[in-house]
A and B are shown apart, each in its own frame.
Chain A
Amino acid sequence: MIKIKDLEKIYRTEEVETVALNKLSFNVKEGEFVAVMGPSGCGKSTLLNILGLLDDPDSGSFIFNGIEVAHFNERKRADLRKRNIGFVFQSFNLIDELTVFENVELPLIYLGVKSDERKKRVEEVLDKVQIMHRKNHYPQQLSGGQQQRVAVARAVVNNPKLILADEPTGNLDSSNGNEVMQMLTELNEQGTTIVMVTHSEHDARYSHRIIRMLDGQTVTENILV
């Protein structure tokens, strides 16, 4: 599903040049659950942003589902993103002004799904993450664990092929964290490809494969299953 080759990303300011990704190459197969680990500043987040089509690389190749997307323009990226990729963030990133239901509904709105269909799908997914009873609440009325469940629901509501998770348990206590990891595992078992950036060895163990990064390059790959 994902083939990246010689990916480079360099951040430049007036005085400093920081190499975030240094000729990085690896593949992710469809249905895989990959964890990316490494110390702060190793380029994990940059990688995730490029995989999520939020950012573009300076050079190298990124083939997503057989299509070269490395130099897609913003409109094409946005289109590809909303059809194929779901995001889960450490800080949940729910919109405060929208209710739980409306937050989860948003990706479907941008996809142009009809209202009746939206209602059905949002309720289904809210049911699945067991937050249906709070669908009319606002994010700030929920606990961190509940917020992250909503975020997961939002990430999966349009049935993406790929879920990118950036430290999904970073802001949660261990029991809430385990719950979220359990949810991701279930999604993976249902066929969704997952790439997760994490600092937690415990969380990484939920994945099939751990890619360890340092200074913008992969250093080791551990296959767990």
Chain B
Amino acid sequence: MFKNYLKTTFRNLWKNKGYTFLNIFGLAIGIACAALIFLWVEDEINYNDYFSNKENLYKIKDSQTYDGTTFTFDATPGPLAGNIKSEIPGIKNTARTTWGNQSLFSLDDKNIYEQGMYVDSSFLSMFGLKFVQGSAATAFQQLYSIVISKKMAEKFFGSTNVVGKSLRSDNKQNYVVSGVIEDLPENVSFKFDWLAPFKIFLVQNDWLQQWGNNGVVTYVEVVPNANIASINKKLYNYLDTKGSGFNAKFSIYPMSRWRMYDTWKNGKEVAGRITFVNLFSLIAWIILIIACINFMNLSTARSEQRAREVGVRKVLGAGKGKLVVQFIGESLIMALISAVVAIGIVYLALPTFNSLVEKHLLVHVTNPVHVGGLLVIALICGLIAGSYPAFYLSSFNPVTVLKGLKVKSSVSAGFIRKGLVIAQFSISIILIISTILIYQQIHHVKNRDLGYNKESLIYLQVQGNIKPHFNAIKNDLLQTGVVKNASLSRSTVLQLGSNTGDFQWQGKDPTKQILITVESVSPEYIPTMGMHIKQGRDFYADVKSDSNNVIINETLAKIIGGKNIPGSVLSQGDTKYTVVGVISDFIYNDMYSSSSPLILFADTAGTNYMTIRLNAKDNIPASLARVEKVIKSDNPGFPFEAKFVDDQFDQFFKAETLIGKLASVFSVLAIFISCLGLFGLAAYTAERRTKEIGIRKVLGASAKGLAGLLSKDFLYLVAISCILAFPLAWWMMYNWLQKYAYRIDISWTIFFIAGLLALLIALITVSFQAIKVALSNPVKSLRSE
């Protein structure tokens, strides 16, 4: 029986090559799309799985409430880790790390910047780092020891057998390599190639020893099956046992949620990256369903061809059940063939897809998860695609079909078929509209006025001579003629990392804390960035003369209130600062929202970055070369690594750009697959109406009129799809846009364009068939009946 089914299936597929191609190709594209998306999802879901102890690892979250709004940070006080380990039961181990540092390492003539962290030695064992050389227990026995990755070891020494060898850091300090660890995979939360003892950092940053300063990340390993609620209960008010006046409330946050969630709004965890994972999984299924719909529609549309076979099989004793099995079997075979074709498409598309999502995903035909996943997808597709046609075809009455009476497509079958086409096009139109709106939103935000000019701005890390000899270097740079200005600052202009709630001023309720961003800058900062002074003055060129003066932004000025802001006094503890100027707001940290209150200090001691404004008129690469020459000669021993503020700005839109790119790719594919189906349907309709067309032609119908007649029915379906898709798309995108404070208004023209586009694409698809039939010789078409 099975053999007989197989034979009929393959002969049927072979006989209707065009139909088979449309079905298999459409389904294969659908399966390949889904497979690619699921590979991405797999990578996301397995994030941090590299750490075998994942389920017992946590980090401390620090929530602080200012003026009724709670902000949640990873920053914690330095003494926290050591204290909670001994005081809170259930906590097995703790480790502190810095935020990630880029340091210059040198060996002979090799000078390379490498990313790393200062960590407590417990970090090495808690995260189970795999030592190729050395061990977690002995790695940090010496103060200036360093654990490096295999990659870094090979870069410097050409081998991994390097324990005991020495590397110079930032041209200042020698470190002895005490261990080599395996390179970390890409899908983990840490990116580092070296780890050095936290003590080194602690010695340089004495302020970390205080409970009131939050400057390090604290990781926690709990005992297996620990009572997390009880640990959190003890942590919540833990800081109050160490002093008074603190705002921070602690809790532990599991590693399993870092990647997918870790987004906080007013003290509550909100869906983070998981939204993308869910969204893209949904899109994968939608594309599969669109492909399955093609199969259903083409199978039922050409049911007349199979009707006689159904009749004969029934007369010969096949029950309905056997026929259902036969037809579902056929669609399963088709789905399996499609899955094989899809593997090929995945292999071809993977490099492009990888560059699109910026990952290095791999597909393994030997990986049981991948093979199993593909089989499951094929099985589901086969069942979905085969179910309706199987029940439809097997329900034919043998008496009717064998009499040679045409199976009149029942009203319900036609209705379902049309419904399915409408569903396909509605989805496609929603995807088109979403894509356009996502791009509009990204474009809108990218082109917003940041409050300064981000073009032609480069920044580099402050190292070696740069800070001590800044004025001389600045003058050398200005003399090149390609540089307009240069300044120092603690953070890069787009990402200001420090804030405090400690400031008081006259008229402020002293019990209310207001979170204010603080930034230390050199006096050239405002003109270098191109910011505008609204009131008062800029800092004086001599940084010392403004050591007790600050400049604030408009938002803070509004909060302080009153007309004459310059001259007002801000106090932090016993220190008093006089406001000498107010600058226009500029956007930092969150490109989608408005500016937060900000204070600029004239203080170069704590600065980490130098920002240089190039002359916009000049040739940028040439200017960059001139700058490099100056920096290299003034700051020897350090490689020149400048970055553009522009590029850093683009990084803010990574997530949105990814959605935009994927949405556009998938909407094109959805439309394409839908059109394959439409093309097939149009072909069958044309075939079925050959006689009618012949008669109409004989009676004098024009080719144009006939093409219109045949196209009309399909265009009507697309029009209905528009009516369904528009409100749904509006609702979805309206809700999506709500999460951005700075956003576009949805314009009706987008809907018009999307609708028109869908109609046009459908018209082109259908008219190919319509014109072919309309131009055919009527004598031929009449004879063929």
Contact indicator A98/B7 (Cβ below 8 Å): yes
Looking across the interface, which residue of chain A has its beta carbon closest to that of B15?
A97
Q: B617 at interface (Cβ–Cβ under 8 A)?
A: no
A109 interface residue (CB < 8 Å to B): yes
Is B313 in contact with chain A by the CB < 8 A criterion? yes
Kindly supply a per-residue 1/0 record for chain A positions 86-118, scoring 1 wherever the CB is within 8 Å of any chain B CB and 0 otherwise: 010101011111100010011101110000000
Nearest A residue to B308 via CB reads A93
Assuming the contacts A55-B399, A102-B4, asked whether A95 and B312 have C-beta atoms less than 8 A apart, the reply is: yes
Shortest distance from the beta carbon of B15 to any chain A beta carbon, whole Å: 7
Known A102-B4, A102-B7, A109-B4; contact A91-B404, beta-carbon cutoff 8 A: yes
Cβ-neighbour of A106 out of B308, B313, B319, B320 (below 8 A): B313
A75 touches B (CB below 8 Å): yes
| Chain B, range 273-329, C-beta contacts under 8 Å to A | 308-309, 311-322
Q: How far is the CA of A107 from the CA of B312 in the complex (A)?
A: 10
Shortest distance between the CB of A42 and any CB in chain B (Å)? 15
Q: Is B559 engaged at the interface, CB distance under 8 Å to the other chain?
A: no
Contact of A87 among B12, B315, B404 (CB under 8 A): B315
Q: Does B403 contact A (CB under 8 A)?
A: yes
B318, A110: Cβ atoms under 8 Å?
yes
A49 contacts across to B, CB distance below 8 A? 399
In the bound assembly, the distance between CA atoms of A66 and B8 in angstroms comes to: 38
Chain B's closest residue to A92 (CB) is B312
A98 neighbours in B (Cβ, 8 Å) = 4, 7-8, 11
Most buried by A among B313, B317, B320, B399: B317
A224 within 8 A of B: no
Known: A97-B12, A97-B15, A98-B7. Contact between A45 and B317, CB under 8 A?
no
Whether the Cβ atoms of A94 and B322 lie closer than 8 Å is no
Q: With A89-B402, A106-B4, A109-B4 in contact, is A94–B312 under 8 Å at CB? A: yes
List A residues 31-68 near B (Cβ within 8 Å): 45, 49, 52, 54-55
Whether the pair A81, B317 counts as a contact (CB closer than 8 A) is yes
- Is A75 within 8 A of B319, CB to CB? yes
Return A69 CB to nearest CB of chain B, in Å: 15
Measured between beta carbons, the chain A residues less than 8 angstroms from B315 are 52, 54, 81, 87, 93
Contact with A along B343-362 (1 / 0, CB 8 A): 00000000000000000000
Mask: chain B, 551-570; 1 = CB below 8 Å from A; 0 = not: 00000000000000000000
Contacts of A154 in B (CB 8 A): 316
CB-nearest residue of chain B relative to A49?
Answer: B399
| Chain A hits for B15, CB < 8 A | 96-97
Residue pair B316, A107 in contact (C-beta under 8 Å): yes
B8 touches A95 (CB 8 A): yes
Instruction: Please tell me if A74 contacts chain B, counting CB pairs below 8 Å.
Output: yes
Query: Within 8 Å of chain B (Cβ to Cβ): is A78?
Result: yes
Given contact pairs A49-B399, A54-B398, A109-B1, A97 touches B8 in the complex (Cβ within 8 A): yes
Bound complex: CA A75 to CA B324 (Å): 14
State whether A93 and B7 are in contact (beta carbons under 8 Å apart), knowing that A45-B403, A55-B399, A82-B316 are contacts in the complex: no
Does A79 count as interface, using CB distance less than 8 angstroms? yes
Contact A74 B319 (CB under 8 A): yes
Q: How far is the CA of A193 from the CA of B398 in the complex (A)?
A: 23
- How close is A88's CB to chain B, nearest CB, in angstroms? 11
Q: How far is the CA of A107 from the CA of B320 in the complex (A)?
A: 15
Write out the residue numbers on chain B whose beta carbons fall within 8 Å of the beta carbon of A87.
315-316
**B317–A110 touching, CB < 8 Å:** yes
Q: Write out the residue numbers on chain B whose beta carbons fall within 8 Å of the beta carbon of A78.
A: 314, 317-319
Total count of chain B residues near the partner, CB < 8 A: 26
Instruction: Provide the residues of chain A in CB contact with B316, threshold 8 Å.
Output: 82, 87, 106-107, 110, 154
B165 to chain A, nearest CB (A): 74
**Most chain B Cβ neighbours within 10 Å, of A82, A93, A105:** A93
Residues of chain B lying within 8 A (CB to CB) of residue A110: 1, 313, 316-318, 322
Q: Is the CB of A54 within 8 A of B399?
A: yes
Report how far A81 CA is from B314 CA in the complex, Å.
9
Residues in B with CB closer than 8 Å to A55 are 399
Residue of A nearest to B8 (CB): A97
B405 → A minimal CB distance (Å) = 11
CA of A81 to CA of B318, assembled, Å: 10
Distance (Å) between the CB of A40 and the closest chain B CB? Answer: 12
A95 to chain B, nearest CB (A): 5
Q: What chain A residues lie within 8 Å of B314 (beta carbons)?
A: 54, 78
Residues of B within 8 A of A82 (CB): 316-317
**Chain B residues, CB < 8 A from A94:** 312
A171–B292 alpha-carbon span in the complex (Å): 41
Give Cα distance in the complex from A93 to B307, angstroms: 11
Which residues of A have CB within 8 Å of B309? 95-97
Contacts of B403 in A (CB 8 A): 45
Q: 1/0 per position for B1-31, CB-CB distance to A under 8 A?
A: 1001001100110010000000000000000
Residue contact B7 to A97, C-beta cutoff 8 Å: yes
> What are the residues of chain A within 8 A of B308 when measuring CB–CB?
93, 95
Residue of A with least CB distance to B320: A74
Whole-angstrom distance between the Cβ of A37 and the nearest chain B Cβ: 19
Complex-state Cα separation, A83 to B399, whole angstroms? 19
Of the residues A79, A91, A96, contact of B317 by C-beta under 8 Å: A79
Q: How far is the CA of A82 from the CA of B398 in the complex (A)?
A: 14
Q: Complex: how many Å from CA A79 to CA B314?
A: 10
Expressed in whole angstroms, the Cα–Cα distance for A98 and B318 within the complex equals: 16
CA distance A78 to B318 in the complex (A): 7
Q: How far is the CA of A107 from the CA of B1 in the complex (A)?
A: 10
Residues of B within 8 A of A81 (CB): 315, 317
The residue on B at minimum CB distance from A138 is B11
Question: Shortest CB–CB separation between residue A221 and chain B, in angstroms?
Answer: 26
- List 4 other contacts, CB 8 Å, given A106-B313, A110-B317, A154-B316: A78-B318, A79-B317, A94-B312, A110-B318
By a beta-carbon cutoff of 8 Å, the part of chain A in contact with chain B is 45, 49, 52, 54-55, 74-75, 78-79, 81-83, 87, 89, 91, 93-98, 102, 105-107, 109-111, 154
Across chains A and B, which 5 residue pairs bring their CB atoms closest together, nearest first?
A82-B317, A97-B11, A110-B317, A78-B319, A107-B316
A–B pairs, 24, beta carbons within 8 Å: A55-B399, A78-B314, A78-B317, A78-B318, A81-B317, A82-B316, A87-B315, A91-B402, A94-B312, A95-B309, A96-B309, A97-B7, A97-B8, A97-B11, A98-B8, A105-B4, A106-B4, A106-B316, A107-B316, A110-B313, A110-B316, A110-B317, A110-B322, A154-B316
